[in-house]
C-alpha cells in the first residue's frame, strides 16, 4: 500500500509541475477557414488516392490469379511456330 501511495504521489507531482511549467501551446492546424478547408481537402484526396491504389493492386492481383488458373501463362510445347 505504501508503494502505491508513493507512485500516486510521484505521478501527481509530475502532473502538477508539468502544468506549472508547461510551454505555450502551438496550434497545429491554422485557424483561418480557407486554410482549414484546404488542409482537410488535401487529406481527403490523399486518402482517396491511397484507397484507389489499393483497389487497383487488388484488381491486378485478381487478374494474375485468373490467368494462372486458366494456364495461359504456361508455354505450350506443341504450338506451331510462326516463321
- Domain assignment present for residue 49? The answer is yes
So what's the pLDDT on residue 83? Answer: 64
- Domain assignment present for residue 22? The answer is no
Residue 60 belongs to domain spanning: 33-73
Encode pLDDT of 27-57 as tens digits: 777 788 888 899 899 999 999 999 999 999 9
Model-level pTM? 0.53
- Domain assignment present for residue 51? The answer is yes
Q: How many domains does the chain divide into?
A: 1
- Domain assignment present for residue 19? The answer is no
In our burial notation (b when 16+ CB lie closer than 10 A, e otherwise), range 37-76 reads eeeeeeeeeeeeeeeeeeeeeeeeeeeeeeeeeeeeeeee
- Domain assignment present for residue 9? The answer is no
- Domain assignment present for residue 2? The answer is no
Amino acid at each position: 500500500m505504501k508503494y502505491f501511495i508513493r507512485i500516486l504521489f510521484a505521478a501527481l507531482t509530475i502532473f502538477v509541475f508539468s502544468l506549472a511549467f508547461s510551454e505555450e501551446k502551438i496550434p497545429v492546424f491554422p485557424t483561418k477557414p480557407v486554410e482549414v478547408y484546404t488542409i482537410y481537402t488535401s487529406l481527403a484526396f490523399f486518402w482517396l488516392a491511397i484507397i484507389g491504389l489499393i483497389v487497383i493492386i487488388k484488381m491486378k492481383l485478381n487478374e494474375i490469379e485468373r490467368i494462372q488458373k486458366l494456364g495461359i501463362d504456361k508455354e505450350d510445347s506443341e504450338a506451331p511456330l510462326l516463321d
